Amino acid sequence: MTQARRIEYNWIRGVETLEEYEPGGYHPIMVGDMLNGRYYIADKLGFGGYSTVWLAHDTYLKQYVALKVNIESSLPREAKVLRPLSTPLAPSSSGHTGFDSTPSLLDKFDVQGPNAVGMDGQVGIA
């Protein structure tokens, strides 16, 4: 009988725990991964209760972006709120009050993986 190999995990303060990478939890992403056929993962920026945030290089726009991948149980309202807020009111307008402080939503896509199908991926300017 083959014995299962145990993965040794050294907890680091301020970093999410390995147990949170389970069905319904965080999506496993590694530096060097390519998401949605265009976002090359360069580094991890952080995490929260409902998502991880990554520095990615957009191979289409040739610029760095912040890429956020939500857990399956998060509510997908953020993109619905950010899209109109990151769009100027009129072509000649610079936008609404606070426009310069609102993250620009460049893309939204589903992330397929072992912990969920259809996790929400959002991309903004880094």
- Residue 56: per-residue pLDDT: 94
Residue with tokens 């760095």: 64
Burial of 47 (0-12, 13-18, 19+ CB in 10 A): middle
pLDDT tens track for 75-93: 666 666 666 666 655 555 5
- Of 4, 25, 124, nearest to 66 by C-alpha is 124
Report the C-alpha gap between 61 and 110 in whole angstroms.
19
Average pLDDT estimate for 111-126: 68
What span, in angstroms and rounded, lies between the C-alpha atoms of 36 and 39?
6
Q: What is the mean pLDDT of residues 98-113?
A: 73
Share of the chain above pLDDT 70, in %: 56
CA distance 86 to 81: 9
Q: What is the pLDDT of residue 76?
A: 63
Whole-angstrom distance, CA of residue 89 vs CA of residue 62: 27
Residue 80 known to bind ligand? no
Mean pLDDT for the chain overall: 75
* Cα–Cα distance for residue pair 67/119, rounded to 1 Å: 13
Q: What is the pLDDT of residues 34-68, one digit of tens each?
A: 999 999 999 999 888 888 889 999 999 999 999 98
List domains and CATH numbers for the chain: 18-81+102-125 (3.30.200.20)
